[in-house]
Structure 1
Amino acid sequence: MIIAKVIGNVWTTQKEKGMENLKLLIVRPIGHDNEFIEDIFVAVDRIGAGISETVLITKGSPAQKVCGDQNTPIDAAIVGIVDSYDIA
């Protein structure tokens, strides 16, 4: 899983079958010092995350399972909104 910051929204008028009611957000992974560490990507959001929130993301086939259909073209999904975390 990946910890990331939500930095934007994606709006589409046409989507593939199975994605019609899915919200898409632009996210960017962050490191232990809260700095951006990787390039941005788009993730499906079914839990109601918003701009500037820190989120937990799963990628690959587990992301497809979040949407309930293995044939939906999903690569990343937000699976949690992070309240806090500690690094020793």
Structure 2
Amino acid sequence: MLIGKVVGNVWATRKDESLNGLKFLIIQQIDYYLDKEFPTFVAIDTIGAGIGETVLVSKGSSARKIIGKSDVPIDASVIGIIDTIEVEKAFKER
């Protein structure tokens, strides 16, 4: 799983039939510990997340399990909307 921010929506009128009825979001992965920037990716949304929200995303084969179908071409699914995040960074002594 990873943490990301919803930065946009995707509309596709022509797509694989198994994707009909699914909502697509553009996600920007966030790394609060390393302050690293990642490329965006598309994830399906079944929980009603919106632009600006911080979300929990499942990737890979487990992303398909959220809709109960193993034969759909899905690589990422939004599985939660995050309320708060707490990160404690360890500091190295020199």
Tell me, yes or no, whether TM beats 0.5.
yes
Segments of 5+ residues of structure 2 without an aligned counterpart are 89-94
Larger radius of gyration: 2
Residue 37 (structure 1) aligned with residue 49 (structure 2): no
Normalized per residue, which structure has more strand?
A: 2
Could you tell me the percent identity over the aligned residues?
Answer: 47
Segments of 5+ residues of structure 1 without an aligned counterpart are none
**Is contact 1:28-1:36 (8 Å) kept?**
no
| TM norm structure 1 | 0.92
Runs of 4+ in 1 over 3 A off after TM superposition: none
**Is contact 1:29-1:36 (8 Å) kept?**
no
The root-mean-square deviation of aligned C-alpha atoms, in Å, is 1.6
What is aligned with 1:69?
A: 69
1:1-88 alignment runs, 5 A limit? 1-32=1-32, 37-88=37-88
| TM norm structure 2 | 0.87
- How far the C-alpha of 1:69 sits from its partner, in A, is 0.7
State how far apart, in whole Å, the 2-side matches of 1:20 and 1:72 are.
11
Q: How many residues align?
A: 88
Structure 2 counterpart of 1:2, one-letter code: L
